[in-house]
Structure formats: structure tokens, C-alpha cells
Amino acid sequence: MTNKLEAERPLSPHLQIYRPMLTMMMSIAHRITGAGLAVGFALLTWWLVAISIGPNAYAYVQDFFGSLLGRALLFAFTWALIHHMLGGIRHLIWDTGAGLDKQTIEIFALATIIGSIVLTVLVWIIGYYAMGGL
């Protein structure tokens, strides 16, 4: 009986019905970067634990982070962290009730994308510069 009722209940259109919009993609990106940061947290934990174990464990981690895969992971981690942070600040502003009009939302979305890319590249340039690689 209940199953029959549930089956006949009208369903609201889901994601695939709508034309993809920037703000909707940003909402999805906020979740994906958030989930990705769990991997980043595991990397940070690995790094800290290796330092607490000793020079050999640290050298092993540094070798991994220095590899192409390691650097790709760290670059993705940096971007996800900054993107999620800027997206989070956007959410905190919305929590106050401000910036919820259509135009501001679009500006926030663009600012988060451009800001996260620019800041990530900047962090890596400074990082390489600090290492004497530039």
C-alpha cells in the first residue's frame, strides 16, 4: 500500500532536466572539493606522522610529493583548499542574508573560480621561488 503510494507520488525534476548553470556547478564544485579535501587531509596527516617518525620516513614522503603524481596531487589539493575556502566565505556572507540577489551570486561565482585559480598559481610560484626553483 505505502509502496504503491510512493511509486505514484509526483517527482520533482532532477539535475539532468535543468540546463547547467554556473551557480549550480559552483554548488557541486563546493561538495566535490570538500570531499577531495578528505584526501588532502590524509596527505597532511601522512606528512606530519612521517616527520614525527624520523628522517627516513620524511625522505620517503618528500620523494613521493616531489614526484609527478605527488606534485599533481598537491596542486589539486591547493586548488581544492582555496576554492573551498573562497566558496565557504561566500556561504558565510550568504548566512548573514547579504549577497543573495541574482547579480551578486553570479559575481561571487566568477570571483570564486578566478580567485581560486589565480591564488593557487600564485602560491605555487612563491613555493617554487622559495625552493630556489625559479
Partner 1 sequence: MATPLKRVRGLGAAHHGTETFWRQRLTAVANVPLVIFLIWFVVRNAGASYNDVKACLASPVVAVLMLALIWSGAIHMRIGLREIIEDYLHNKLCKTASLMLATFFAALVGIASTLAIVKISFGG
Interaction of residue 98 with partner 1, rule CB under 8 A? no
Neighbour tally for 132: CB within 10 Å: 6
Is 84 labelled a binding residue?
yes
Interacting residue with partner 1 among 2, 3, 16, 52 (CB under 8 A): 52
CA–CA separation, 126 vs 119, rounded Å? Answer: 10
Q: Segment contacting partner 1 (CB under 8 A): 7-15, 18-26, 45-53, 102-110?
A: 45-53
Cβ burial 62-99 (10 Å sphere, 16+ → b, else e): eebeeeeeeeebbeebbbbbbbbbbbeebeeeeeeeee
Residues at the interface with partner 1 (CB under 8 A): 31, 34-35, 37-38, 41-42, 44-45, 48-49, 51-52, 55, 58-59, 78, 81-82, 85, 88-89, 91-92, 95, 123, 126-128, 130-133
